[in-house]
Every structure is written in structure tokens, then in C-alpha cells.
């Protein structure tokens, strides 16, 4: 359906993408994996014809996109951004916005909006004011607005990020349902390895604006390459300036966060803390652990019997707890928690 050939993108002196080449097959779910800053969003914008590449070319069904025909791609694709933008009015009004802008008949608008809202679990909230529903529901509404347009190509920027468990499950099923029922082509950018493995046909792994791995999901996850293994450890990887104080390194990772590590390091240092090594509590606990941080939950991802929380303490940490602990502490997006981990749990990379 689409092919990118030697695509590069620069913003002044900043190189966002370099020599990116791959194809998108009609009716597949293709996932763009990569850490923050790897170029995922820039790549989606180029694929959506919202930005033009600095180098290389984009082909749609064999036809090179340029200023003369780029608007045609915009009518065949739609992109859902990570940041949710809602209009005044009801849930139904928001989901119907794009269709009404195109002059679609009212009866067709109602039919398509109703189907899209049902798919994302918002059918019973159609009459609610959009800005009064929860954050997870608002993100599902953005997806419904795109689904209602019934485009050939749906581009999703971090659709699974910062979702409560219920919304995560619904969005995951909605993306899978689009692929099964309508044969829509879906390209999704995410850093969520587990969800990418569950719903993707193929993967493209970006690192520093370049493709470092590409192939079928089953193959890449079945026998991970060095690049994939490195990315799988990208949670809680931070780089900062270290100073050695009494045999313990104080690593300033930004955001007013200093991590104490059992390392004798000075200068630029990259560290990693396993999500499983971080204790989550509702109040500060008495412990010999040298690191205690307070923050707010910005994301919840269910993974069977365990749950991954993303907690913003000035920098975002990923932590892993059991589903039982989540329920017992009543944790959800927006809640305040304390994170505790030992200096010996901090690994040097």
C-alpha cells in the first residue's frame, strides 16, 4: 500500500530520521517501536502527509507523493495524536466532527458514529459532555473519531500510553477488531513491547532516527536480536551526571531527580533500574533503601497477573506490581504514590 524509500527528516541541525526504508502492506497492523525521541511521531506525520521528508520519497500504491497529490493521501488516511484534543459538545458531537466537516449525510453520520463509539466502549456515553468523561475515555473518543472516518490507513501515535486497565483492554481489542472486520491498515507507534507483540503483524524498531530491526513480530520476539534486547531494557534507562560521594554515586537524571547508586562513578553515566526492583507504597516507608521518590501515576498497563505503572516523579519510572496490590491500594491514573529502591538495584549501562 505504501513504501518509504530513503526517507530522512531534519529540523535545522536536528536529524529526526535518517535513511528510513520499509513498506506497509494493505490490511496489516504494523508497529513502529522505539524509545522516546527515536523519531516515531515524525515518521507517522510523514506517512500521514502532514509533513514532507527532507530526503527520500514516499510512494502510495506506486505513485510518488509530492505537493500536487499529498492532499489526496490526507483524504485516505487519518492520524490520532498522543495528546487528546476535544471540542465542546457531547461525545457524539466529537466523534462526528470529521464526518460533518466532509458534509456527510446526517443519517450516515449517526450510523458510523454509533458503530465507532460501540467499538471503543462509549456507546452509552454518547450524550455526555465530552470534557466530563475520564482521561482514558477521552483517549478512546479520539480513536472513535478516527474510526468513524473509515479511512484506508489509520496512524496511531502511542494509542496504548497512559491508559487505565479498562481503557487499555478496550483500545487493544478495538485495534484488533479494525484489522479483522474492516481490513483497515493500521500503523501504530508505541514503546509498549507486550502490546506490540500481542496485536502486530510486523515490527519496525527505530533507534536514533534509524531502523535497526524490521520483520514479522513472531520472529523478532521469538529470537530477539541485540537491538531488540537492548530496547526491551529501555524502561527506566536514564543518563545523567554522576558524582562520587562516600563510595556512592549520586546521578542527576534531570527533573530534580537524583538517584543514589552503589557505583563509584563520576561524569556522564547511564543507569537502569528494573521495574521489578521498585517498591510502590501509598506513604513513605521506613527502609534501608537509599532511593525514595514521590510522584503521580500517569499510566497503568495490565499484563495478566501483574500490572505495570508509569509514575512521574520528575522523570517517568516504570514499576511492576501484582494485580492484587493494585486493587488493595486502589491505584489508578492520577493517584499519588511513593517509590523505593536500593542503591544496589541501580545497574550501570
Q: Tell me the pLDDT band of 311, cut-offs 50, 70 and 90.
A: very high
Give percent of the chain with pLDDT exceeding 70: 95
Q: Work out the number of other CB atoms within 10 angstroms of the CB of residue 171.
A: 23
**Stretch 286-311: mean pLDDT:** 85
Task: Give the cell for residue 183.
Answer: 481490513
pLDDT at 23 over 90: yes
Q: Tell me the pLDDT band of 303, cut-offs 50, 70 and 90.
A: low
User: Which pLDDT belongs to residue 174?
Assistant: 86
pLDDT at 222 over 80: no
pLDDT at 195 over 80: no
User: Which pLDDT belongs to residue 99?
Assistant: 95
The rounded distance, in Å, linking the Cα atoms of 178 and 117 is 13
Q: What are the chain's domains? A: 2-232 (3.40.50.300), 237-348 (2.40.50.100)
Task: Give the cell for residue 348.
Answer: 550501570
**Which residue is listed with cell 471540542?**
87
The rounded distance, in Å, linking the Cα atoms of 87 and 69 is 29
User: Which pLDDT belongs to residue 84?
Assistant: 86
The rounded distance, in Å, linking the Cα atoms of 169 and 311 is 20
Q: Tell me the pLDDT band of 302, cut-offs 50, 70 and 90.
A: confident
Burial classification of residue 322, based on how many CB atoms lie within 10 Å of its CB (0-12 exposed, 13-18 middle, 19 or more buried): exposed
State the pTM of this model.
0.68
The rounded distance, in Å, linking the Cα atoms of 253 and 10 is 27
SS (H, E, C) the chain: CEEEEEEEEEECCEEEEEEEEEEECCCCEEEEECCCCCCHHHHHHHHCCCCCCCEEEEEECCEECCCCCHHHHHHHEEEECCCCCCCCCEHHHHHHHHHHHCCCCHHHHHHHHHHHHHHCCCHHHCCCEHHHCCHHHHHHHHHHHHHHHCCCEEEEECCCCCCCHHHHHHHHHHHHHHHHHHCCEEEEEECCHHHHHHHCCEEEEEECCEEEEEEEHHHHHHCCCHHHHHHHCCCCEEEEEEEEECCEEEEEEECCEEEEECCCCCEEEEEEECHHHCEEECCCCCCCCCEEEEEEEEEEEEECCEEEEEEECCCEEEEEEEHHHHHHHCCCCCCEEEEEECHHHEEEC
How high does pLDDT run on average in the chain? Answer: 88
Closest CA to 146 of 97, 179, 189: 97
Across the beta sheet with 316-322, the strand order is: 279-281, 336-341, 291-303, 306-312, 316-322
**Stretch 21-43: mean pLDDT:** 91
Task: Give the cell for residue 284.
Answer: 513513605
pLDDT at 9 over 60: yes
Residues in a beta bridge with 271: 238, 348
pLDDT at 179 over 60: no
Q: Tell me the pLDDT band of 304, cut-offs 50, 70 and 90.
A: low
Helix (H, G, I), strand (E, B) or coil at 98: helix
Residues in a beta bridge with 300: 309
Q: What DSSP designation does 3 have?
A: E
Q: Tell me the pLDDT band of 211, cut-offs 50, 70 and 90.
A: very high
User: Which pLDDT belongs to residue 276?
Assistant: 85
User: Which pLDDT belongs to residue 147?
Assistant: 93
User: Which pLDDT belongs to residue 46?
Assistant: 95
Higher pLDDT, residue 4 or 217? 4
User: Which pLDDT belongs to residue 69?
Assistant: 86
Higher pLDDT, residue 9 or 162? 9
User: Which pLDDT belongs to residue 224?
Assistant: 66
* 69-113 pLDDT tens trace: 888 888 889 999 988 889 999 999 999 999 999 999 999 999 999
Higher pLDDT, residue 167 or 315? 315
**Stretch 303-313: mean pLDDT:** 85
pLDDT at 34 over 90: no
pLDDT at 237 over 90: no
Task: Give the cell for residue 159.
Answer: 494509542
**Which residue is listed with cell 538517584?**
259
Amino acid at each position: 500500500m505504501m513504501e518509504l524509500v530513503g526517507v530522512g527528516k531534519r529540523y535545522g541541525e536536528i536529524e529526526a530520521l535518517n535513511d528510513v526504508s520499509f513498506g506497509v502492506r494493505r490490511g496489516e497492523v504494523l508497529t513502529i517501536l522505539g524509545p522516546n525521541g527515536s523519531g516515531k511521531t515524525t515518521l507517522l506525520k510523514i506517512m500521514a502527509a502532514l509533513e514532507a521528508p527532507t530526503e527520500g520519497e514516499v510512494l502510495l500504491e506506486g505513485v510518488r507523493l509530492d505537493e500536487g497529490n499529498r492532499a489526496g493521501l490526507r483524504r485516505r488516511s487519518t492520524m490520532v495524536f498522543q495528546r487528546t484534543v476535544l471540542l465542546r459538545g457531547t461525545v457524539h458531537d466529537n466523534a462526528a466532527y470529521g464526518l460533518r466537516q466532509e458534509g456527510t449525510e446526517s443519517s450516515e453520520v449517526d450510523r458510523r458514529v454509533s458503530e465507532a463509539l460501540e467499538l471503543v466502549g462509549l456507546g452509552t456515553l454518547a450524550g455526555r459532555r465530552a470534557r466530563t468523561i475520564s482521561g482514558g475515555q477521552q483517549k478512546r473518543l479520539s480513536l472513535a473519531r478516527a474510526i468513524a472516518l473509515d479511512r484506508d490507513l489509520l496512524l496511531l501515535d502511542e494509542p496504548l500510553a497512559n491508559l487505565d486497565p479498562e481503557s487499555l483492554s478496550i483500545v487493544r481489542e478495538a485495534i484488533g477488531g479494525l484489522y479483522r472486520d474492516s481490513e483497515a491498515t493500521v500503523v501504530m507507534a508505541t514503546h509498549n513491547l507486550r502490546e506490540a507483540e500481542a496485536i502486530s503483524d510486523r515490527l519496525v524498531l527505530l533507534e536514533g532516527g534509524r531502523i535497526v530491526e524490521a520483520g514479522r513480530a513472531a520472529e523478532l520476539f521469538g529470537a530477539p536480536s541485540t537491538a531488540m534486547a537492548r530496547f526491551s531494557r529501555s524502561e527506566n534507562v536514564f543518563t545523567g551526571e554522576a558524582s562520587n560521594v562516600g563510595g556512592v554515586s549520586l546521578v542527576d537524571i534531570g527533573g530534580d531527580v537524583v538517584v543514589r547508586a552503589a557505583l563509584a562513578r563520576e561524569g556522564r553515566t547511564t543507569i537502569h533500574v528494573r521495574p521489578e526492583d521498585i517498591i510502590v507504597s501509598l506513604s513513605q516507608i521506613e527502609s534501608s533503601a537509599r532511593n525514595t521518590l514521590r510522584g503521580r501515576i500517569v499510566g497503568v498497563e495490565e499484563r495478566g497477573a501483574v500490572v505495570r505503572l508509569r509514575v512521574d516523579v520528575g522523570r517517568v519510572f516504570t514499576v511492576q506490581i501484582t494485580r492484587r496490590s493494585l486493587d488493595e491500594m486502589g491505584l489508578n491514573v492520577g493517584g499519588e504514590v511513593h517509590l523505593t529502591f536500593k542503591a544496589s538495584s541501580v545497574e550501570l549501562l
